Structure 1
Amino acid sequence: MNPYRERLTPPATVFVATALVVPATLLVFLPIDQLVGVVVAVLFYAATVVALVFTSPVLTIDDEGFSAGRARLFPHEIGEVRGFSGAEATQQRGPRLDARAWTLFRGWVRPVVRISLTDETDPAPYWLVSTRRPDEVVRRLEALRQRTPGR
């Protein structure tokens, strides 16, 4: 199986919005020194961009299982998998969300995948994870499930 990898990075609009750190920094540092103000503003914005990119969780599906950020499900733990988008994804993240579910959401990624768990001792009944490609994630997780011995 070819590994699947998706980083849940913010869209360009988030990077544009975080550019407001530049004028805010300039307001503070320009009265002290113009060069320092510009340098600090650029460094703050660069640090913000780096933080947004490198702290974005990564989804991975490979022969070893499914990873969402630091959490991992092994193939034998994966139950029924369903993808949701649009209004149904909003319902899954809101009114229909079980408080015991393990979640990994990003506000800028609306579609979600719901993964039921087969482990009866796990306190979480399912995982609900943001993904830009719910159909692809469902297809790959189902394929991984089918290859698991004992199913």
Structure 2
Amino acid sequence: MQPSAPGATAVRYEERLTAPPAWWALILLAGISGGLITLPLGTLPLLVGLIGAAALAAVLVSSYGSARIRVVAGSLVVGDARIPLSALGEPEVLDAEQARAWRSYKADPRAFMLLRSYVPTALRVEITDPADPTPYVYLSTRNPEELAAALSAE
């Protein structure tokens, strides 16, 4: 780890929503399936099918689990989106039941949502910028209290 330069802003919060371990076991099953599909073609195609299917599954699981949430330099950074903290209202920590409600029947189609089905808790933050049509930000997070504290501390 390198020391930060003078004037550099520190990351107040960072989380990567990685896929659960059970999803990584699916890579093995996908590889076996690819191998079985190509088995009638011979040994070499079997190996190519096994390795190719496993590699494709690994890329898919890894890319889905690469979503990042960060609070840095006066902004909430979610994937490619950067929202200034001045445009955000009070964060609302959602337990599993509340999170389920806000991602289903309470959801607003205009909201910015980072959903991960394997993360039961979430954080909901109102957008206070009158020029922005987005009513709120919904973020699946394993640590909603820490994220709320980081947003409130800025």
TM-score by length of 1: 0.86
In the other structure, the counterpart of 2:45 is 36
1:90-129 equivalence runs, <5 A: 90-129=100-139
Cα deviation for residue 2 of structure 1 reads 4.2
Q: Say whether 1:137 aligns with 2:147.
A: yes
What code does the residue aligned with 1:5 have?
Answer: E
Out of 39-48 and 87-96, give the one that drifted further. Answer: 39-48
Task: Give the residue type in structure 1 aligned to 2:152.
Answer: E
Q: Deviations over 1:124-147 (max 9, x none)?
A: 110101111101100100111xxx
**Kept after mapping to 1: 8 A contact 2:96/2:122:** no
1:24 corresponds to 2:33: yes
Match of 2:70 in 1: 60
Contact 2:92 2:125 in 1 (8 A): yes
How large is the RMSD of aligned CA atoms in angstroms? 1.7
Matched with 1:149 is: none
Letter matched to residue 134 of structure 2: A
Kindly provide the amino acid, as one letter, of the partner of residue 40 in structure 2: P
Give the distance between the partners of 1:143 and 1:89, measured in 2 at CA: 23
Note if 1:74 corresponds to 2:77.
no
Of 50, 53, 63, the match for 2:59: 50
Unaligned runs of 5+ in 1: 145-151
CA distance in structure 2 between the partners assigned to 1:2 and 1:95 by the alignment: 37
Give the drift of 1:24: 1.7
**TM-score scaled by structure 2?**
0.84
Instruction: Please give the secondary structure, in 1, of the residue aligned with 2:40.
Output: coil
User: Aligned residue pairs: how many?
Assistant: 144
SS of aligned partner of 2:137: strand
Shift of residue 87, structure 1, vs aligned partner: 1.0
Give percent identity, aligned residues only: 29
Partner residue of 1:84? 94
